[in-house]
Structure 1
Amino acid sequence: MNDTTPTHASHVTTFGAWLLAIVWISPMIFALWAAFHSSTGSSSFDLTAPLTLDNFSRVLSAAPFPRYFLNTFLLVTLILACQIVVCTLAAYAFVCFPFRGSGVLFMLVLIQLMIMPEILLVENYRTLASLGLRDTILGMGMPYLASAFGIFLFRQTFKSVPKELEEAALLEGANALQVLLRVFVPLAKPTYVAFGLVTVSYHWNNFLWPLVVTNSVETRPITVGLQVFATVEQGVDWSRVSAATLVSVAPLLVAFIIFQRQFVQSFMRAGIR
């Protein structure tokens, strides 16, 4: 009995994993098929139709994708740079400069992890309107310039750095900022990679907030630009929608293929800490 029980359990686990994989990959297969085949209607496809790239040419000519990509790149870069600086300094302060009430303050940071960004949508919009930052790249990124998740992740990583390394650097005459940049940050590189990948992926695909705060082509990111292909009066042309979606996620797919080993290793190391 003891020999067969783990085998049956592993078979059930494997079956469940395959089932979830099929459910997860089915929409991707549909999107790939739709993107490379002509649509015969608003929601049906000719299974005998030959492969074609016409959908991509129509999509690229129908919307200013270079501008959308530039806006998205600027937005993601702004958010990532600010989050790394703010979260690093905040986590370093929590670990190396304890002060009265730091525990309560850190609990408030953790509470922010439980608050969905959509709850603050109206208030954030009012704040940006009062500052005159509607329909700007800075306005889209301002609510995300700090990250509670980043502060928590970096704090946990900095806590694992041996105290002896910090003391040795101080004895060598390094100041607090030099200790951070030369001791803590280099040892936390896997965590920075993991956090950067999560942040870039999330904000590259973020839709609701950019939709609310922008109203011009000059500032729209790629996700908001995609809605042009899903609001045609004759119905949704799924071939064009699928092609546009593949174009928008292509940079993320290429980046993941290139850095997949670093992606997995960074999360494993960050998780172990």
Structure 2
Amino acid sequence: MINAQAANPFGEQSKLLETVAAWTLGLLWVLPLLYAIWTAFHPAEFATRFSLTAPLSLQNFVNAWHAAPFPRYFLNTFLLVTMILAAQIVLSTMAAYAFARYQFRGSNLMFMLVLMQLMVMPDILIVENYNTMNLLSLRDTILAIGLPYFASAFGIFLLRQTFKTVPRELDEAATVEGASALQTLWKVYVPLAKPIYLAFGLVSVSTHWNNFLWPLIVTNSVESRPLTVGLQVFSSTDQGVDWSIITAATLMTSAPLLLAFLLFQRQFVQSFMRAGIR
């Protein structure tokens, strides 16, 4: 019998190259994060030089917290991502269920139009969205930031692919029990798609938590600005750029997303693997 390694002499070299590439990409990603952590926890004079004797300090976080109204920015951002996610889940669930279980005239064409939205960059629509918000007298509000993102083509696609795998026998059983279409959706389809909802929720929250350009354009007051726009305060000071305070503020802003991903990374990866094989 031919040895498997002899039959594939390039197998070990291929695995070695994959390992080297993975470590290289990992280092390229983690080095900026390590630099930010180092700079945030040390005095400003150690921002550009490394020293094992450098004293640890939380003063940069204290200075950053008092330099901008972070409580208001956190509240605005939390309200924004919650509002967008709630709207996306409701609308995407209804649309995905219709595309997955109902055959109506033009359904395939409509679904293709939905998929085409995935190829449109949101920045292209900024002018039209701004004019719409101005027409509705919604400028400088949290609703104006979130309204253009209430519908999600990505969410519709993910949920449709999941709903199509649900056996139709479950629909028939629910109908026999007297359940309406909405009851079937809520009690049968939604529970089976919980992993997909979790993965989509993490993507949606991280996307709109980090969104900068559209909130910057449509808002002009502290009362409605999210964290990403609030961070620009630290890059527009008369004293120049203080990297220690900037990195501290950045870590405070990104910490909730990092913690959420670390807590749910397994479910996140498994959800997309399940969605990809359908």
* TM-score band w.r.t. shorter chain: over 0.9
Moved more, 194-203 or 48-57: 48-57
CA contact (8 A) 1:40 1:46 kept: no
For residues 1-273 of structure 1, what are the structure 2 equivalents within 5 Å? 1-40=6-45, 44-45=48-49, 47=51, 48-273=53-278
TM-score by length of 2: 0.94
Deviations 1:26-75 (A, max 9, x none): 1101111110111239x734635311111001001111111100000000
SS of equivalent residue, structure 1 residue 219: coil
Residue 211 of structure 1 deviates from its aligned partner by 0.7
Distance 1:230 1:59 in 2: 12
Q: Aligned residues, how many?
A: 272
Identical residues among aligned pairs (%):
64
Which letter maps to 2:54? A
Deviation sequence 1:71-115 (CA, Å, 0-9, x none): 000000000000000000001111122111111111110111000
Q: CA deviation at 1:3?
A: 4.1
CA distance in 1, matches of 2:116, 2:260: 32
Residue 231 of structure 1 and its aligned partner are, at CA, apart by 1.7
Which residue of the partner structure matches residue 3 of structure 2? none
How far did 1:236 drift?
Answer: 1.6
Stretches of structure 2 lacking an aligned partner (at least 5 in a row): 1-5
The superposition leaves residues 104-152 of structure 1 with CA deviations (integer Å, 9 ceiling, x where unpaired) of 1111101110000000011100110111001101100000001000111
The one-letter amino acid paired with 1:44 is T
Q: Output the TM-score relative to the length of structure 1.
A: 0.95
Secondary structure of the 1:135 match is coil
One-letter identity of the residue aligned with 2:249: A
| Counterparts of 1:71 and 1:162, CA distance in 2 | 42
RMSD: 1.5
State the alpha-carbon separation in 2 of the partners of residues 271 and 101 from structure 1.
Answer: 25
Q: d(CA) in 2 for partners of 1:34 and 1:131? A: 44
The 10-residue stretch of structure 1 (206-215 or 263-272) with the greater mean CA deviation from structure 2: 263-272
Unaligned runs of 5+ in 1: none
Summarize deviations over 1:156-200 as a string: whole Å, max 9, x none. Answer: 110010111111111221111111111111111111111011101
1:133 alignment partner AA: L
Q: CA deviation at 1:251?
A: 1.3
In 1, Cα distance between equivalents of 2:27 and 2:266: 23
